[in-house]
Amino acid sequence: MRFCRKKAMDKTQMAAMLRDMLRARAFEEAAAQAYAQGHIAGFLHLYPGEEAVAVGVLHAAEPGDYVVSTYREHVHALVRGIPARQIMAELHGKKTGISGGMGGSMHLFDKDRRFLGGYAIVGETFPIALGAGYAVAYRKLPEAVLCFFGDGAVNQGTFHESLNMAALWKLPIFFICENNHYQIGTEIHRHSAITEVYKRACAYGIPAEKADGMNVIAVHEAAERALERIRAGDGPQFLELETYRYRGHSMADSGSYRPNAELNAYQANDPIAAAVHEAEYPYPGIEAVAAASANSVTRFADHCCQEGHLDDATVERMRREIQEEVADAVTFAEQSAAPDMEDAWKAFHRNRRFETLMEVAR
């Protein structure tokens, strides 16, 4: 697969996105392994296959933006900059986890990185993003709120309620639908009357676009366009990204309800393989050079300056570094102390001030 792009992307950005996609895949596979070994318990919803979505979108965002995510959010957290160690430790329920072991896989929160949480009830990300967007608009700040959700969430009442209010008050919210075609085991044609999710946004007058969620550059470009419009004061934007999860809904689900042909088709269109292919500069053969006109050669040279320029060795080095990072995260998680009940009460009471007296009214 070739990427088609409207503008050139600089080498560092391309490399950074590729690195994050590889990190995402490696992190999730390590989590699956830890789960299989019994080190991680509970629900574990993994992301392989959908990497281009989180990476493409989050690389278009600013550090000042807020992110609201679902229960399949490890990768959003990772790409947002939460250290792999702290995410892996949270998956293990350890005290060193990003939520102190009180949240778990589905509830990663990081106030400093404006990561407003993973939510385990389908459809909750809409009102949270609505409130965050309201607070940003209230303070007249140039920030945006990124709201992730799946195709299954759009039939919840909160989807319609929140899109209505976001549009009504022109809130700076970027609605991002990760359409992986399945709400657990029910395929989209069996759960939605309108299967092209982006069309639903027009009911609220929200500009909507659909992009290939298996293509990181297409995702990135669409996200940049939407964020530009939000920052220009155009109000909420909607982006549907068609993607696919290679695994079942969670580790408890084999995903056996999906036809093999479908899975194979999407695996053949693996977003990471595609990104690697793109990032590794394909040197032209003699015929290609001979066939090119002088102008083409110039253009090609420009292209080379602007594009990835990664070679096999670089990608391999990247993979090795990532393996080390992920292995380190797993070791850290395994060796970290578990929280005790004292820690739980501390987390519970952290913001509780049993106010004694209120000062005399001002």
Partner 1 sequence: MSEMFYWQALNRAMDAEMAADETVLTLGEDVGLYGGTYRVTEGLMAKYGEWRVRDTPISENSFTGLGVGAAMLGLRPVVEIMTINFALFAMDAIVNMAAKIPFMSGGQFPMPLTIRMPGGVAKQLGAQHSQRLEHMLMNVPGLRMVVPATPQDAYWQLRQAIRSDDPVIVLEHELLYFSKGRVDEMVPAPPIHQAVVRRRGRDITCVAYSRMLPLALQAAETLAAEGIELTVIDLRSLSPIDWNTCITAVEQTHRCLIVEEDCRFAGAGAEFAATLQEHCFYLLDAPIRRVAGMDIPTPFNGTLEAASIPRADDIVQAARQMMARKEAAR
Residue ranges in contact with partner 1 by CB under 8 A: 66, 68, 97-103, 107, 109-111, 116-117, 119, 121, 124, 126-138, 157-158, 161-162, 164-165, 168-169, 346-348, 350-362
Q: How near is the Cβ of 76 to partner 1 at its closest, in Å?
A: 15
Partners of 314 in the β-ladder? none
Containing 208, the helix (H) or strand (E) segment is: strand 208-212
> In angstroms, rounded to a whole number, what is the distance separating the alpha carbons of residues 11 and 309?
7
- DSSP conformational letter for 200: G
> In angstroms, rounded to a whole number, what is the distance separating the alpha carbons of residues 200 and 319?
40
For residues 46 and 72, the answer to whether their CB atoms sit within 8 Å is yes
Nearest to 98 by CA among 44, 27, 148, 113: 113
Containing 186, the helix (H) or strand (E) segment is: strand 186-187
Which CB atom, from 3 or from 109, has the smaller least distance to partner 1? 109
Q: How near is the Cβ of 101 to partner 1 at its closest, in Å?
A: 7
Neighbours of 225 (CB within 10 A): 17
Strand 145-150 relative to strand 115-118, pairing: unpaired
Q: How near is the Cβ of 248 to partner 1 at its closest, in Å?
A: 24
Which CB atom, from 126 or from 198, has the smaller least distance to partner 1? 126
CB burial of 183-214 (b: ≥16 within 10 Å; e: otherwise) equals beeebbeebbeeeebbebbeebebbbebbbbb
Q: How near is the Cβ of 349 to partner 1 at its closest, in Å?
A: 8
Which CB atom, from 125 or from 243, has the smaller least distance to partner 1? 125
Give the 3-state secondary structure of residue 150. strand
Q: How near is the Cβ of 121 to partner 1 at its closest, in Å?
A: 5
Q: How near is the Cβ of 205 to partner 1 at its closest, in Å?
A: 14
Which CB atom, from 161 or from 325, has the smaller least distance to partner 1? 161
- DSSP conformational letter for 360: P
Burial of 92 (0-12, 13-18, 19+ CB in 10 A): buried
Which CB atom, from 263 or from 347, has the smaller least distance to partner 1? 347
Residue with tokens 């979108």: 57
Report CA 356 to chain centroid distance, whole Å.
44
Which CB atom, from 122 or from 322, has the smaller least distance to partner 1? 122
Q: How near is the Cβ of 14 to partner 1 at its closest, in Å?
A: 33
Which CB atom, from 113 or from 229, has the smaller least distance to partner 1? 113
